[in-house]
Chains A and B, each alone.
Chain A
Amino acid sequence: MKFTTSTAVRRKVLRGAFSALSVAALMSSSVLGANAQDITFWTQPQGDLLAYQGLFDELKSEFRNQSGINVSVEVINWSVAFNTWLTVAQGGAAPDCGDMYWLHSLSGIGAGKFGPMPITEYKDQWPTLEEDFYPGILADVNWNGEFYGIPWRADIRPMLYRTDYVAEAGFDHPAQTWDEIVEQGLAMTQRDANGNVTRWGFAPGNNNPAQTLLPYYWQAGGAMMTEDGKTATIDNEAMRTALKFLQDLVHVHKITSPEIFEKSADPFVEFTSGTLAMMGSGGNAYPVTLDRDYPEMDGTWSLALNPEGPENRDSYSGSGYWGVLYGARDVDACIEWIKFLSTPENMQRISETTGAVSPRRSVMESEAWTVRPWQPIMADALNYGHTSQHPTSVWSALAAVDPGGVLYDLVYNTVIGGADIDAEIATAQARMQTELDRASAN
């Protein structure tokens, strides 16, 4: 085909006009995209992914009808969640509000410029917060005297045990104290003719040494640091008691596998395959998983409050919370959204759909949480919840699951390596203080 000059010119003009129109359309759409009544919200999936996404589709639609605010919800895969929030706290792309965790570290990294934003001035929007929520969980959303959001899922960890093995060993109740852990653990540990253990009596926690240590240290009456997060307080009798107890489980009573802290170890897999009788501080997702994926085990397992230590029976607890981020285009709209999500009715729906333990008392006291025998125990354990977060931005580094972490080295060297407890505590105390100084220099 041949073009005349005038055709070519006309085409150029048309092309230019089209480009101009496209740019104008793009600009107007981006202006519309920045509408103050539009907010973005990032969350991680809980329970079934499709059910979770479906629930949030419903919730945002109801919220739009009620408030006129459009929420764009993005579900982040758990495998990239930590790095995503780490990037957010460093000033990377961020939503207006989100479902977050690890408040202290992410706030510390954000240093008041990025990441989680305090919403203390909006706290009165939840006038009965302290009565409505379990106190151990609320500690996760307060830091440095500021309030950061509403907890919506609780990570409470009671003891998981095999009822059939307990009965077989002649006990009529699960272990209630540290001494009973040893007594029952000895009775339930089994070995083959060559002395290889075919069933371990007790795993004190998951394969994270720091998370495993915490409840035993609290139960012995210890605290990791002063309330201002500036001074390490682990060189004390409580730490010696906790570490000695854990060390004896492995080396003296031999009811705990010396491999518990290795990456290839998974106490829950051991539990489901029948090679573990009791697991202290079992994750809160385990009962849901057992119900869903192991129906053949029904009636052979249950939950119990963590056995009592010398001082108390505190349980490890953590939470995920809904909060606002620095740079949010419309903080008021975010608060409205969080208020909407945190109504008793919506938190009930969320808990029922995801199976997540709710930090709201009314949900855990509802009929929905009494259907299975383990559910009321989970609710009761919340009363003993002790926050796993600590008032320093360096906490997650202190409690890292890798060799070289202060608590990792302390627990691994003593409990598995059998190292001298006093010497290891002294080293850990000094190292922890250095880390706290690093963080408090902010």
Chain B
Amino acid sequence: MTRQKYIFCYIMLAPALLVTAALGIYPMLYSLWMSFVQFDLLRVNQFGTPFVGLDNYIAVFADSRFLQTVTNTVLFTAISVAGVLIFGLLLSQILNANFRGRNVVRMLVSVPWFVPPAVASAIWMWMLNTDRSPINFLLQDMGLITSNIRFLTDSTTWGPFSIPMFSIIAVRVWNGLPFAIIFILAALQSIPASLYEAAEVDGATLWQKFWYVTLPQLRPVLAILSILLIIGGLGSFEINYIMTGGGPQNLTNIMAVYSYQQAFSFFRFDLASAASGVIFILTGFVSVFYLRSQFKKAA
């Protein structure tokens, strides 16, 4: 590429880079800096922001609520990513088949993607309300339950698991599914038909075709998709914040919600930044794999 073309490329990229730097990188670095100073909103105008080293990180890790949110975040992310991938694989197989009304079904499956998480949360809050949930009405009518399931408020636990946690995960899966389906569907359509024809000639069953042809062909896409979903899951905020606010009894609290509460409810921007710093480290770790795969692809 000539020098002029390089310059042209940089000029074209400059606006996007500037916006990313101003609205993404600068706040991220500023937040990271805040995690190493004392930034108590009630004292900052009086005492400034003295450097405190790792004190904020030590403070958040000494908080049992934060440790619980770390566990919750990891479980929430792992289960919802697994759910999205499994259901995404199943549904995209169906949507890849030729049948009448396929386009309508494809459109319907994409609907959750058009619903912003905040709106989805409000809808599901109503759907999962103990006394008004149509799901409870349906289950009672079918004689499957006698008392209402407390989808968002039952504090009974099985280890780190609870009904509210599963409810929130279900909403996350519902909301994230179309993204996965579109990804996988595109990959499915790029698998050469000749591979399936060869498998058929060899007498492969439907399952064997899926296991030995489809899955290996989808592996690169599934890997990228998993990484993107993990990054999104670790930084997830809206659904948990709106639907439960982390409750009941911190059972659905995740790190981003904890961070928000520290900053805007308790005015401790330093502790909030330390909690965000932990999210940053975790997502950064996952992002390395993503970037490596992207660089490999580019090479």
Contacts and interface: CB of A to CB of B under 8 A. Distances in A.
A394 B265 CA distance: 10
Contacts of B147: 194-196
Interface in A77-135: 82-83, 86, 90-91, 105, 108-114
B42 A439 contact: yes
B132 A394 contact: no
Interface stretch (A42-50, A258-266, A336-344): A258-266
A264 B46 CA distance: 39
A438 interface: yes
Contacts of A259: 130, 150, 153
A263 B245 CA distance: 6
B78 interface: no
> Which of A258, A402, A441 counts the most chain B CB atoms within 10 A?
A402
> Which of A110, A393, A396, A397 counts the most chain B CB atoms within 10 A?
A397
Nearest to A195: B147
A262 B45 contact: no
A397 B266 CA distance: 5
A45 B125 CA distance: 27
B108 interface: no
Contact of B247 (A109, A113, A263, A400): A263
A264 B44 contact: no
Contacts of A83: 264
A111 to B, nearest CB: 4
- B contacts with A: majority SS: loop
Interface in B219-271: 242-250, 253, 261, 264-267
B153 A404 contact: no
Given A262-B247, A397-B265, A405-B266, A90 B148 contact: no
A407 B267 CA distance: 16
Interface size class of B (residues with CB under 8 A): 35 or more
A264 B153 contact: yes
Contacts of B42: 105, 108-109, 393-394, 397, 438-439, 442
Contact of A397 (B153, B243, B267): B267
B128 interface: yes
B261 A402 contact: yes
A274 to B, nearest CB: 11
A220 to B, nearest CB: 26
| List of 3 A-B pairs having minimum Cβ-Cβ separation, nearest first | A111-B45, A400-B265, A263-B245
Interface of B: 40-46, 65, 125, 128-132, 146-148, 150, 152-153, 155, 242-250, 253, 261, 264-267
Given A111-B46, A394-B267, A441-B43, 16 more contacts: A86-B41, A90-B45, A109-B41, A109-B42, A109-B44, A110-B45, A262-B152, A263-B125, A263-B242, A264-B152, A397-B265, A401-B245, A403-B253, A404-B265, A405-B265, A439-B42
